[in-house]
C-alpha cells in the first residue's frame, strides 16, 4: 500500500481491552482495541494521532495477526501511544490515521522486531510532530 487513499476509514474508534501485554515486555506497551462495529483497516503499521480525554497524542498502530508471536488467528488493533503512561482499560480511543509506515511482517528474532519498532517510532515522530 502506497498511500492513505486505500484506507477505508481514516478514523477508527475502539475500546481499550486488556491484552497479553507482550508489547510491554519489549518496551512498546500497546492499548489493544476492540473496534466499534463498522470500522476496519488493512493490515500494517501506521503513524496515528490518538485522542483521549480531549487530548491529542502521537502513536503507532499495528493492525494484523502478530506473526512474530504466532499467537492466534484473530486480527488485532494495537496502538502504542508515544510519551504516554496512563491506565486506560475500558476507555474509548479515537485513532486518526495519518501515515502508512509499513506492511506487517514476521521477524525471526525478537530483537529484530524491537529494532524495527524503534525505527518505526523514529519515522512516526519525524512525520507526525
Q: What is the CATH number of the domain that holds 72?
A: 2.40.30.30
Alpha helices by DSSP H, 76-128: 110-128
What nine digits make up the cell of 64? 494484523
In this structure, what is the dihedral angle of CA atoms 119, 122, 124, 126, given to the nearest 10 degrees?
-140
Distance CA 104, CA 39 (A): 19
Cell of residue 128, nine digits: 507526525
Sign of CA dihedral 25, 39, 41, 65: positive
What range does the domain containing 93 cover? 4-128
> pLDDT tens for residues 32-85?
899 888 777 888 999 999 999 999 999 999 998 876 777 667 888 999 999 998
**Overall domain count for the chain:** 1
pTM of the model: 0.83
Amino acid at each position: 500500500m502506497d498511500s492513505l487513499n486505500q484506507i477505508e476509514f481514516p478514523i477508527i474508534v475502539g475500546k481499550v481491552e486488556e491484552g497479553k501485554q507482550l508489547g510491554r515486555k519489549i518496551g512498546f506497551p500497546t492499548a489493544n482495541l476492540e473496534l466499534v462495529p463498522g470500522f476496519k483497516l488493512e493490515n500494517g503499521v501506521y503513524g496515528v494521532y490518538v485522542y483521549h480525554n480531549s487530548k491529542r497524542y502521537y502513536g503507532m498502530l499495528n493492525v494484523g495477526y502478530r506473526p512474530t508471536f504466532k499467537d492466534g488467528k484473530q486480527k488485532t488493533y494495537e496502538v502504542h501511544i508515544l510519551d504516554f503512561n496512563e491506565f486506560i482499560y475500558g476507555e474509548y480511543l479515537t485513532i486518526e490515521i495519518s501515515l502508512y509506515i509499513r506492511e506487517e511482517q514476521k521477524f525471526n528474532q525478537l530483537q529484530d522486531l524491537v529494532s524495527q519498532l524503534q525505527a518505526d517510532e523514529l519515522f512516526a515522530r519525524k512525520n507526525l510532530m
